[in-house]
C-alpha cells in the first residue's frame, strides 16, 4: 500500500491570503508550503482519494494520477469537498462514474451543493450524464475497491467527522478534537497514524500538538504524522517539539506499507 500526503495544510492553506500570509512559518522552507489536507492511497492497482479540497487539481497533477477509483469524504467543510468537481475529467476519459463515499449528512450536503455531479436534471441536455455517484459508508467495517476500511466517528467542534483505518495498519484521522473511547482500541498498534493537529495551543475543533502526541502514545503507533497544520506551525519548530516516532507532515510525503 502506498500512501501520499497530497496536502497537510489547514483550511486556509499556507500561505493564507492577505496579511496572515505565512504566519509563524518560515517562507524559505518549502515544507511550509501547504495545500489543503488530502491523501491518496494506492494498492493492487486501485487508487482511493480521501477528501477533495480546493487544491485537489494541482495535487493530482503533481502526483501524476491518471485515475481515481473511489473518493472518501471525511466531512462537508469546504477545505475537504470544494474541489470535487475537478475530478470530472477522470469520468470523461473512463466513462465510469466516480463513487463518492461518506455518511448520510455529508452525502446530503454534497447533493445540495453539487447537484449536477450526481443527478441528471430535468433541464440538462440529453448528452449530460452525472459523473459521480453518492454512496453511504457505515461506522465499522466496509470493503471498498478491495480495501478493508474501518470507519470511525470523530468529534470536530459542533460537527462530526469520519476517521478511516485502511487494511488494519494505517489510520487517517483529521479534523478531530475528541473521539469515542472505543476508537482507541481500533487504532492500537498502527504502522502509520496520520492525525490532524493544528497548532500548539488548544482549539475547539482540532487537536493541538500535545493531544495528538498523547493519542499517538496511547495507541502505540509505529509512526505518527501530523497533518492539517496551521499558520502558527512552522515545520522546523514542530519537528523540534515532536516526541520519538512523531513527525510533521509535508506536501508530497509518501509511505509504503
By the criterion CB under 5 A, which residues form the site for Zn ion? Answer: 11, 77, 79, 175
Least distance in angstroms from the C-beta of 77 to Zn ion: 4
DSSP state of 31: G
Burial of 201 (0-12, 13-18, 19+ CB in 10 A): exposed
Query: In the complex with Zn ion, which residue's Cβ is closer, 90 or 152?
Result: 152
Q: How far apart are CA 201 and CA 211, in angstroms?
A: 10
Bridge-partner residues for 224, per DSSP?
Answer: 193, 246
Give the residue nearest to Zn ion (CB): 77
Q: How far apart are CA 227 and CA 195, in angstroms?
A: 6
Least distance in angstroms from the C-beta of 72 to Zn ion: 14
Least distance in angstroms from the C-beta of 207 to Zn ion: 12
Least distance in angstroms from the C-beta of 121 to Zn ion: 29
Query: In the complex with Zn ion, which residue's Cβ is closer, 158 or 240?
Result: 158
Query: In the complex with Zn ion, which residue's Cβ is closer, 77 or 150?
Result: 77
Do the beta carbons of residue 192 and residue 171 sit within 8 Å?
A: yes
Task: Quote the Cα angle for 77-64-239, to 5°.
Answer: 60
Cell 493544528, located at residue: 198
Least distance in angstroms from the C-beta of 246 to Zn ion: 20
Q: How far apart are CA 9 and CA 34, in angstroms?
A: 5
Amino acid at each position: 500500500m502506498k500512501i501520499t500526503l497530497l496536502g497537510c495544510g489547514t483550511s486556509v492553506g499556507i500561505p493564507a491570503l492577505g496579511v496572515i500570509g505565512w504566519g509563524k512559518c518560515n517562507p524559505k522552507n518549502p515544507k511550509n508550503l501547504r495545500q489543503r489536507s488530502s491523501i491518496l492511497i494506492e494498492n493492487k492497482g486501485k487508487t482511493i482519494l480521501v477528501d477533495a479540497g480546493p487544491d485537489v487539481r494541482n495535487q493530482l497533477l503533481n502526483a501524476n494520477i491518471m485515475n481515481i477509483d473511489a473518493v472518501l469524504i471525511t466531512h462537508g467543510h469546504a477545505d475537504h469537498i470544494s474541489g470535487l468537481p475537478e475530478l470530472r475529467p477522470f469520468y470523461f476519459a473512463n466513462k465510469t462514474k466516480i463513487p463518492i463515499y461518506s455518511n448520510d449528512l455529508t452525502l446530503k450536503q454534497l447533493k445540495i451543493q453539487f447537484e449536477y455531479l450526481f443527478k441528471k436534471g430535468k433541464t440538462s441536455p440529453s448528452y449530460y450524464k452525472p459523473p459521480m455517484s453518492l454512496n453511504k459508508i457505515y461506522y465499522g467495517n466496509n470493503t471498498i475497491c478491495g480495501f478493508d476500511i474501518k470507519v470511525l466517528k470523530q468529534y470536530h467542534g459542533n460537527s462530526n467527522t469520519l476517521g478511516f483505518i485502511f487494511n488494519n495498519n494505517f489510520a487517517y484521522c483529521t479534523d478531530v478534537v475528541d473521539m469515542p473511547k472505543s476508537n482507541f482500541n481500533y487504532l492500537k498498534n498502527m504502522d502509520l497514524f496520520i492525525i490532524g493537529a493544528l497548532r500548539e495551543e488548544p482549539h475547539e475543533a482540532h487537536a493541538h500538538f500535545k493531544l495528538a502526541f498523547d493519542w499517538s502514545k496511547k495507541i502505540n503507533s509505529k509512526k505518527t504524522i501530523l497533518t492539517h497544520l496551521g499558520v502558527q506551525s512552522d515545520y522546523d519548530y514542530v519537528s523540534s517539539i515532536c516526541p520519538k516516532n512523531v513527525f510533521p507532515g509535508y506536501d508530497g510525503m509518501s509511505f509504503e506499507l
